[in-house]
Every structure is written in structure tokens, then in C-alpha cells.
Amino acid sequence: MTESCIDTVLIANRGEIALRAVNTCRALGLRSVAVYSTADATSPHVTAADTAICIGPPSATLSYLSVPALLHAAIHTGCNAIYPGYGFLSENADFARKCEDNGIKFIGPSADTIATMGDKAKARETAAQLGVPVVPGSDNAFTRDDEAFAVADNIGYPLLLKARAGGGGRGMRVVESSGQFVNAFSQASREAESAFCDGAMYMERFLPRIRHIEVQVLGDGLGHAVAFDERDCSVQRRHQKLVEESPSPVVDAALRTQLLQAALSLTRGINYTGAGTVEFILDVESKAFYFIEMNTRIQVEHPVTELRTGIDLVAAQFRIAAGEGLSSFERSDIQQGHAIEFRINAENWHSDFQPSPGLIHAWEVPRGEGIRLDTAVSVNQMVTPYYDSMIAKLIVHGTDRMDAIDRARAALAAFHCGGIATTIDFHRFLIEHDDYMNNNIHTRWIEDVLLADEPVRLSV
């Protein structure tokens, strides 16, 4: 890594991404400081870090989402950088700004960039100004249902309510008709307020049977950027991604060029710094695509890009923050093979995906060529009920999509977790479905097709 003022990094996260960041610090010769709630006192990222400090009780609001607690921990331990990972405060502009105000390098984009791209209306306006196609929608976000309702008819139904701040499917509702609007707005706004402390809602036209396509980018903050082949994140449930793959089976070379160019135009146009993801929806029949948002952080699904490029994207975040240029990351022309990621959640999918916390008493993981497992879970570890239910990411890499699916089939068959319910067998079921095998899916396929036949689901 280039010479810089960064030598001690506070990891403002938990679980798999926190452990990954600790290991990255070690590889780059940096000192790591882990933070943890009392519920995570024995978690792997705590014991792996050079230093660890407790920042509060199990409640995320009083620990991992507490800006004062995190800043106090950073200052107390002599940190001159903070790595946010994904989730929690990773896209919180106020947190990034307070890091800057305290002379601590926020490993990510500037606070102003986070604020602009985190506001769905401003992000849409910015993208349009830079020539990136956008979905028809509202120009502003709304906190009152009556003001939003007055604009909704001009957008047309069905429409999608989206939280102005945050992501991950929280604060999102599909509204089929005007009669559903007020109730849906109230529910989505309350959910957004709880998750992001911001209940303002943005609206856009809802397009059924579309694919969710995203482009991984890196920027140096000086108007230079690189983009990598797209990821297809269309296998979702209630706007939560479950399976991601790269490249997308529905994107040809000409469309790929357009997608990457649009992502680069936006990334360069806002002088973006670090790793980010530009997200689009794609109408497969018309090949029309539209910008929906930019995630100003590392994505959960970034390993599928790493396996195809050989680039460590988390290390890239650190290296760019330290002032390194983009020349060593300009390898988008040598991406190879096909990669698929399966999110393994502690959930009982036979009971509407209810969370399944508890003690893991068996943990047998798949191994072999083309198989990667990112996790911070091990046998005799407690999965708590306080945080996101994802406990692992299984990523497979093959020469093409069918080879990757074959590797996934073998990996999932060898993957066993005892003591709690998980979505491992859900993924076994999913990849054998004809629609998935034949690539006949869309963002509502899980609800509309895969889980629509209750007897079939319960017989698996």
C-alpha cells in the first residue's frame, strides 16, 4: 500500500465483513480495532483484531449505530481511519462527516457524495443530468401521504414506494392502486424511519417482470473510474437479494457496453471515491435499462466480481483511501468464467422465512476448486436475534453458468448446519427449478412462481 496517514483502522461493523476487514488490515500492515456489542463479545472479528472495544448493549441503535460510541472508540484507541463495511452506518452521511470533522479518514466516498446518492430524488436528478436513463418517478421525496398521493396519479399505478435513505429492501412497498396508497405509504414510512431515522418516501413507476442489474465501480475521487462486468441480482424476495451472479445471462456484449458506460458516466461525474455499485432495472424484451440507485459502499455480493477478476475489492477500498490510483485495478477486460453467490440466512423458509437464532452445534462446510465460503460462523457459536440473519455467503466459480450451477449443486449438498434452521436447503430447491436453470426469472419470481405452490414447497 502507498505511503499514507492511515495506520490504525476502526472496523465499524460485525460478522463476516468485520472479520474480512480485520484480515485485510493485517495483509496491508495496518493495525485493526474491532468494536462489539455485549452480544458479540466472543465473535471471531473480536478475537482476530489487534484491539477490541465494547461499544454498548445488543441493540444496534445503542452499539453499531451509535455514532458517539464509535467515534469515542476510534479516538480512544488512536484510530486515524474508520471502515464501515456494509449495512449499519456505511451509507450515513452524518457519520462520514463527523469522521472527517474529527480528523479520521472515512474509508469510502465523501459525506456530500453519500448524501447526494443516498437521497433517491437527488440521485435520480444527478443521473439524469449526466445522461443516465432513469425510471419515471417523483422529483422529490415526501413525508406526508397527502402530498405524495397528489403526485402519484401522474406517475401511474402500479408504483413503487422507496425510502429516501438506506436500502436493502427496507421501506419499500408496491402500490397496485390508489386505494392502497395511504396505508402502504404509512407502513413504508414507519419502516424507513425505524431503519434509517428518515421516513421520507420517493416514488417511481413499478415495472413488473424486470431484471435487477448492477455494476461494480471504483473511483479515485478525481473523476477517474473503472467498472467491472455486471452482476445479476434478480433472485429476490421482498426486495431482498438472495442469489447473485456474474455475468448476467441476459446481457449481451452490446448491452454490457452501454451499462458499463452509464455506470462510468455517473461515477466519474460525481468524482466518486472508493468502491460503489450503480444499480439498474432491465426490461429484457426491449433491452431498455434505467438507473434506480447507487450504493455508496461495498456490496454483500461483491465476491462474485472478485472471483471473476482476481481483484480484492475490500483491499481496494483501503488502498484508494490511502491515495493509491486506479491503474492496478483496470482489469475489466480479463474477467473470466461465471460466479454465483448464495446468501445463507438463519431463517426457516418453511415458515415464511422466520428468523432462527440459536446455538450452532454442527457446521460442515463445502470445500474444493471453485468454491468459496465467506463467514464468521463456526460450531458452538450462538446466532443472536439482534442483527441481520445472514450467517454466510457461498460463492462458486465455473467456466460458464452451467459449470457454476454444477459446482453449486455439489457445494450445497455438502453444506450442513445443525441447531438452527437455515436457507441452505432452500437454495438446493431453487437451483433445481426449471425456470432458474433456463434463466426464466425476474425480481418477483420467488413470490410469484417458486413459492406459489405451497404443497411443493413443504414437500422439499
φ, ψ (nearest 5 deg) of residue 335: -70, 135
Residue 120 lies in a domain: no
CATH of the domain at 183: 3.30.1490.20
* Average pLDDT over all residues of the chain: 94
* pLDDT digit string, tens, across residues 50-75: 999 999 999 999 999 999 999 999 99
131 is a domain residue: no
Place of cell 449443486: 409
Is the pLDDT assigned to residue 458 strictly greater than 50?
no
Location of C-alpha cell 463467514: 375
| CATH classification at residue 312 | 3.30.470.20
What is the residue-wise DSSP string for 186-254?
Answer: HHHHHHHHHHHS---EEEEE--SS-EEEEEEEEEESSS-EEE---EEEEEEETTEEEEEEES-TT--HH
Q: Is residue 24 part of a domain?
A: yes
Check whether 417 has a pLDDT greater than 80: yes
Tell me if 128 is assigned to some domain.
Answer: no
> Which positions ≥6 away from 241 have C-beta within 8 Å?
212, 233, 235, 300, 301, 343
Q: Positive or negative, the Cα torsion across 301, 303, 304, 306?
A: positive
In a 13 Å sphere around the CA of 44, the CA atoms on its Cβ side amount to: 20
List, for residues 263-286, the tens digit of each pLDDT value.
Answer: 999 999 999 999 999 999 999 888
Q: How far apart are CA 209 and CA 218, in angstroms?
A: 30
- pLDDT beyond 50 at 235: yes
Q: For residues 290 and 421, state if they share a domain.
A: yes
Find the Cα–Cα–Cα–Cα dihedral 439, 307, 305, 443, rounded to 10°.
Answer: 30
Residue pLDDT, tens place only, 148-170: 999 999 999 999 999 987 666 78
What 436-440 contacts at long range (C-beta under 8 Å, 24+ apart), as own/partner pairs, is 436/235, 437/405, 439/249, 439/250, 439/401
**pLDDT of 452 over the 90 cut:** no
Residue 341 falls inside a structural domain = yes
**Mean pLDDT, to the nearest integer, of 179-190?**
95
Domain edge (last residue) among 187, 205, 223: 205
Query: Average pLDDT in the 301-312 region?
Result: 97
Inform me whether the pLDDT recorded for 129 exceeds 50.
yes
The grid coordinates of residue 327 equal 491503474
399 shares a domain with 257: yes
The last residue of a domain, from among 205, 225, 245: 205
**CA–CA dist 314, 320 (Å, integer):** 10
In this structure, what DSSP letter does residue 305 have?
Answer: H
Q: What is the pLDDT of residue 166?
A: 67
- Clarify whether residues 279 and 426 are in a common domain: yes
> Is 130 a member of any domain?
no
Domain identity same for 200 and 245: no
- The percent of residues in the chain predicted with pLDDT above 90, rounded, is 86
pLDDT score of 164: 86
The last residue of one of the domains, among 144, 178, 205, is: 205
pLDDT above 90 (res 237): yes
Same domain, 317 and 268: yes
Crossing angle for the helix pair 15-28 and 313-321, nearest 10 degrees?
A: 60
Domain of residue 416, residue span: 211-459
Active site residues: 297
Q: What CATH number corresponds to the domain at position 93?
A: 3.40.50.20
Cell triple for 361: 452445534
The whole-angstrom separation of Cα 316 and Cα 342 is 23
What pLDDT does 168 receive?
Answer: 66
Tell whether omega for the bond before 84 is within 30 degrees of 0, i.e. cis.
no
SS3 for 39?
A: helix
How is residue 11 written as a grid cell? 472496523
Burial class (CB in 10 A: 0-12, 13-18, 19+), 99: buried
Same-domain status, 381 and 439: yes
Could you tell me the pLDDT band of residue 332, with boundaries at 50, 70 and 90?
Answer: low
Does residue 298 share a domain with residue 364?
Answer: yes
My answer on whether 198 and 216 are in the same domain is: no
Residues 176 and 300 in one domain: no
Q: State the average pLDDT over residues 3-8.
A: 80
In a domain? residue 144? yes
Classify residue 119: in a domain, yes or no: no
Contacts with 384 (C-beta within 8 Å, 6 or more apart), sequence order? 39, 40, 58, 357
Which ranges of 237-364 does DSSP label H, i.e. alpha helix? 253-269, 303-309, 313-321
Handedness of CA 223, 296, 43, 410 (dihedral sign): negative
Shared domain for 314 and 253, answered yes or no, is: yes
% the chain with pLDDT above 70: 96
230 and 304 inside one domain: yes
Residue-level pLDDT at 459 = 45
366: Cβ–Cβ under 8 A, 6 or more apart, which residues?
373, 394, 410, 411, 412, 413, 414, 415
Q: How many structural domains compose the chain?
A: 3
**pLDDT over 90 (residue 328):** no
- Label residue 3 by pLDDT band (50, 70, 90): very low
Task: With CA atoms as reference, report the closest residue to 136 among 184, 76, 69, 206.
Answer: 206
227 and 373 assigned to the same domain: yes
Sorting pLDDT into bands at 50, 70 and 90, what band is 243?
Answer: very high
359 close to 381: Cβ distance less than 8 angstroms: yes
What contacts 86, CB < 8 A, 6 or more positions away?
Answer: 13, 17, 297, 298, 299, 300
Write the pLDDT tens digit of every residue in 201-231: 989 888 888 999 999 999 999 999 999 999 9
